[in-house]
Amino acid sequence: MNLRFRMFRHLPVVGVLLLGAVPARAQQQLLVPMDDRQANALKAYGLVFNALRDGNKAEWLLNYRGGSFLLPDVSDVRKRATLDGISFQPISAPDVAALRTEIAAANMDVVSLERAPKIAIYKPLKSPPWDDAVSLALKYAGIDFTSVYDEEVMNGDLTKVDWLHLHHEDFTGQLNKLYLGFRDTPWFIEQRDAQLATARKLGMPNIPALKKQVAERMRQFVENGGFLFAMCGATETLALAIAAHQTDIAGSFADNTPVDEAADQKLDWDRSFGFRGVHLEPSPFVNSMSDIDGHQVNVPGRRQPLGQFSLFSFSAKFDPVATMLVQNHRNVIPDFYGVTTSFTRSTIKQGVTILAQEEGAPWAKYLHGDYGKGSFTFLGGHDPEDPQHNIGAAPTDLALHPSSPGYRLILNNVLFPAAKKKPLKT
């Protein structure tokens, strides 16, 4: 694995964790629990992120009480936690030492979080408020991010960020085949015309050509050390667009041109993220893009029912990356649909880590892999608290779901790039 993290050396201090003792503030830290005793787990991520942004250090206690945090006991942190309704407890220096001893003896570890990553979300300027679960999560948690779209990506703006999120964008340029049912709606026409105008402004003939170039810039971003997190249809279509960089796999949304049925053999999966041996959906009249998605949610007659998925348990000391990505107070989570809901096992590349799966099903839900100097993480589905998710649905009110285990998976990915890397041995 390319990413390795510094392991703390725990002093052999014997003691008992006495959370009731509160010595002078300079000698204590704040424990932010992330188990069922946490009143607002989602805002707790914002608390940690903003503490890092303000120049503080933090520690992530992997596999301890749902992936709890240690923060410095300073007035700004206390004030924000109190205002946001986040549960925290002062913990003395001797009790911190005892806690480290407890962690050292179990399948737990401590990871240092050093700085707030620079975050960008790929989305158009006019994006409906319900469109992106990650935008909802970051806004609710109070985590700053910038928005980028095709022009910014092509102009090199990805070099300014550490972490990039994609949601249901169709990087094959077929606009998720929404022309089948929405081509006469004002919002679809506006989206199509805006993207076509951008393509022509940048010297490209059509939307598929534009999106493939944008996908290639994202591939380079990860190859050069960036962190990419994708959900919903972006997981599938980004992989397809990168694999087809030298091939035209996209039919035209204007005249319903079918995909070349021999295109499967022309795809270069060595350069793509996560998948291999994929079979494309040749018909422009079928919403599915390929056989990556096991649920085939938008295809009548193929659609699979929702179940629940389980997070894998990893060794915190030997596999800290995967462990960070699955920190949660729930190990079993109700599934939720998206343009791409799941990842068919037969299409997943060897070496990709499966982070969550549905027991007995031929698909996985949550994947992570290294690519070049960076990494990608894919989570199927659109909104963890809106299982069906229909176009035009009201945005999820996260104040009603302050400890959503599905949304916690999203926010694990936001803090993941903040972890301190361990220098590689030479």
User: Same domain, yes or no, for 37 and 127?
Assistant: no
Quote the pLDDT of residue 3.
44
Identify whether 424 is part of a domain. Answer: no
User: Same domain, yes or no, for 397 and 412?
Assistant: yes
Nearest-angstrom CA–CA distance, 194 and 123: 13
pLDDT confidence band for 265 (50 / 70 / 90): low
Based on the structure, what is the number of domains in the chain? 2
Lowest-pLDDT range of 73-77, 124-128, 130-134, 349-353: 124-128
Nearest to 13 by CA among 130, 97, 113, 79: 97
Identify whether 56 is part of a domain. Answer: yes
pLDDT of 360 > 50? The answer is: yes
Q: How far is CA 411 from the centre of its chain?
A: 7
CA distances 171 to 236, 243, 337, 363, Å, are: 9, 11, 19, 22
- What mean pLDDT do residues 8-25 have? 34
User: Same domain, yes or no, for 100 and 39?
Assistant: yes
pLDDT of 79 > 90? The answer is: yes
SS3 content of the chain, % helix, strand, coil (to 5): 35, 20, 50
Q: 77: buried, middle or exposed (CB in 10 Å: 19+, 13-18, 0-12)?
A: buried
Q: What is the CATH number of the domain that holds 124?
A: 3.40.50.880
Q: Which residue has the higher pLDDT, 65 or 240?
A: 65
H-type helices in 224-319, by residue range?
A: 232-243
pLDDT of 326 > 90? The answer is: yes
Identify whether 269 is part of a domain. Answer: yes
* 318 φ/ψ sector (left φ>0, alpha ψ -120 to 50, else beta): alpha
Q: Which residue has the higher pLDDT, 425 or 340?
A: 340
Quote the pLDDT of residue 260.
57
pLDDT of 255 > 70? The answer is: no
pLDDT of 371 > 90? The answer is: yes
Nearest-angstrom CA–CA distance, 83 and 228: 31
User: Same domain, yes or no, for 236 and 207?
Assistant: yes
CA distances 403 to 30, 68, 70, Å, are: 20, 13, 19
pLDDT confidence band for 267 (50 / 70 / 90): confident
Q: Which residue has the higher pLDDT, 248 or 185?
A: 185
104-144: pLDDT as tens digits: 999 999 999 999 999 999 988 776 655 689 999 999 999 99
Per the CB < 8 A criterion, the answer to whether 138 and 101 are in contact is: no
User: Same domain, yes or no, for 220 and 329?
Assistant: yes
pLDDT of 23 > 70? The answer is: no
Which residues constitute the domain of residue 390?
119-418
Quote the pLDDT of residue 21.
37
Measured at the CA of 424, the angle between CA 421 and CA 425, to 5 degrees, comes to 145
pLDDT of 6 > 70? The answer is: no
H-type helices in 111-185, by residue range?
A: 133-141, 150-154, 179-182
Q: What average pLDDT does the structure give for the chain? A: 85
User: Same domain, yes or no, for 48 and 127?
Assistant: no
Strand ranges, E, within 54-95: 58-62, 68-72, 89-92
User: Same domain, yes or no, for 213 and 353?
Assistant: yes
170-221: pLDDT as tens digits: 888 776 666 666 666 776 777 778 878 888 888 888 888 888 999 999 999 9
Q: Tell me how crowded residue 166 is: count the other CB atoms within 10 A of its CB.
A: 25
Write out the H or E segment, with its range, that includes residue 326.
none
- Report the SS3 class of residue 119: strand
